[in-house]
Structure 1
Amino acid sequence: MERAIQIGLLGLGTVGTGVASIIKQHQETLSHQIGRPIEIKRAFVKDLHKSREPWLSSLELTEDVNAIIQDPSIDVVIEVMGGIDETYQYVERALKEKKHVITANKDLMAEYGSTLLHKANDLHCDLFYEASVAGGIPIIRTITDGLSADKLTKIMGIVNGTTNYMLTKMTEEKRTFDDVLDEAQTLGYAEADPTADVDGLDAARKMAILATLAFSTQVYISDVSVKGIRTVSDIDLSYCERFGYTMKLIGLAQKDEGQLEVRVEPTLLPNTHPLANVHNEYNAVLVEGEAMGESMYYGPGAGSLPTATAVVSDLVTVAKNIQRRVHGMSYQTPMFQTTFKQENEIQSPYFIRLHVYDRAGTFAAITTLFAQHDVSFERLIQLPLADQQEQAEVVLITHTTTVAIIKELVAKLKQLEAVADVASYYRVEQKG
């Protein structure tokens, strides 16, 4: 039998431990698939004395990253340590040492993916990153391989498990944002600093990666319009239910007539929409193509073993490429120049919740302002505010309008004497 393919692990945290576990437990199956055994030769860690599971004592650990990057016997570097700038340096150096690289790092790939993929291509090395988006769902491979014959027009999904867990609990258990965030942090779904999740940045990085692949263009994190769930209240969610909708943090990448729209924002979905029934920490991605129509991919979006499974799946592909001597040939340069829709070209209905002064002429003033912006109502209710005797709550869903008009309308509503506050407004996914 040929010598084992040697692996160097950068990071031995939750995902790194999962990778080591799968390689150890599935060694016979992996060797059969590849034709050679796979071995983790060494793992880079920041603290050799950190408490770890007893079975990991069989691994050789090092605090010197050069012991992996400069070791000529190591064939593949698996990066699961996280971070951006320092990690970029490690990955770049590994490629220069002619090592194939697998990463689960969506931050790294959203920021430097194009640069690293070019380098890997020039150096005839593989660089795979399936685990960087949607954990255990093989969405990157689905787009690049399974749907490569189709012309994709839309990707829409729930790609952040933390926010989906929080919105599920807020909706089903009628709890507040802060209460559910505390629980998510206690359970390990949310970090001590939850900014990347609740402000939509994590999902935006993933959508930049997916849009780049799906539409053969280059989309950066700065190109993604982002609005997180920090302002979503249990009151908003109760009205969503009343109108027959479920709110989710939705990532959307859509191409119409050569123009792209890439967004992450809380969105009201009809209860009949397939994504409306994706709960807790699960992820799901809908892909629409001209030939195939619509298909959906669903599964756990995070966690040690689901993410590690995606990493090891990439490892199998790299190992097979080594056997066939076809490595470093998977990257394709983008075909199209990136052109984005302007806000006056992006259309959707909207949910708007207002606090208004409950007096004569208020409703006439509001409807006049909406009419001046050519925005009509699909649904509307008005209820007294329990804690404000002279105010009422007006909640409405508009017919289709544009982002530009809604932003202007909201600004004008805030200036209207009849309006005490624009409590919230969110995009609505059109029915049918």
Structure 2
Amino acid sequence: MVHLIAVPPIPDAGRLAAREAAEAVYRSESRRIFATLVRLLGDFDLAEEALHDAFHAALEQWPVQGVPSNPRAWLVSAGRFKAIDGIRRRARFETGDGAVGAIEATADPALAWDERDPDAEALEDDRLRLIFTCCHPALAPDAQAALTLREVCGLATEQIAAAFLVPAPTIAQRIVRAKSRIREARIPYQVPPVSELPERLDVVLRVVYLVFNEGYAASSGEALTRPDLSAEAIRLGRLLVELLPEPEAIGLLALMLLHESRRAARSSAAGELVLLEEQDRSRWNAALIAEGSALVAQALSSRRFGPYTLQAAIAAVHAEAADAAATDWAQIAGLYDVLLRAEPSPVVALNRAVAVAMRDGPAAGLSLIDGILARGELADYHLAHAARADLCRRLGRFAEARAAYQCALALARQAPERQFLERRLAALPAGGDAS
């Protein structure tokens, strides 16, 4: 006769706590775990599947066994073993154990993420390895950025498409082609030698900048910002400065810190967008401003700076102003002149136009924006139409302002921005223009 041992049921509170712990780890650590699985398994798609299998196992086992002391290490190990088990099962019906042998041969035992290993946290950052892999010169520049945003940061294809101002299917094709190229060219998963770092740095900085922008001003959704992405971009920026303290790496870190210093003041308690000129500057983070300003000075003193340092210098001028009225718009417009020569782009030209409007009056800025739009540039960029609407409003050209606000509203995808545009549209005087 078989005697069954009665197992007491797990209290609902325990299950809930374990599930919440798994969800919290997923939000904060999933892309780092994914990066390590890419290194251990040598394949993006296999690592993604292993990541989901690991979290599924956590949801099943943590309520019974308890949350491990090092959840990230547990999940990496679980994902790796499940991937190898899956390949072994498929190998029985296909080509033998060669794929498993390849994974076991490429895995570095010193980096195996043993939960008991006290030095695991001191290992070289896997996400930095993954960034340089995604930004390998063998890949097209637009594919490098798209792949990094997708695989390193976990952005959806639609979010990446919004960042690049291109259709989502185009981004999806770039990512698929980039993965295929990595497999075919056997691109190594590693930080390149110091001698190769400078030529690889430009694309990496561009990607980190795009990640920060998505976190600082989310391209869509209900929230104005995504603090997790901004924090990750700043963390990666600090790693890059430590690894390669080039002026533009320093400038980019300064730019991110100075923008991040204003996060708390950029939205109201209700989540509404607050423009720079209306922000409560007592809520700006003084420590981040001090650090960012010092980095700007360091990068400028090298005389080898570029667009990121110039943008950081502009942000520093804003940070130095005690209030909006004290802003040195002449200096900002001058810096935009230099930036536009260094990086001629319609978005930089738009920002310069706004600075000129603040220095010389709304008519001067409006003329520049109309020129940008007349050339067909930024026609689908909601901020260009919003800027035009604001200048028309200031000039009393309310009919034009209304049309421009409506155009911006039709293009905006982020809820707080849409609400802001709706408020501005509703506040326009009824009837004709000001006399």
Superposition TM-score, scaled by structure 1 size:
0.25
Of Structure 1 and Structure 2, which has the larger fraction of its residues in helix? 2
Larger strand fraction of residues: 1
Q: TM-score, normalised by structure 2?
A: 0.25
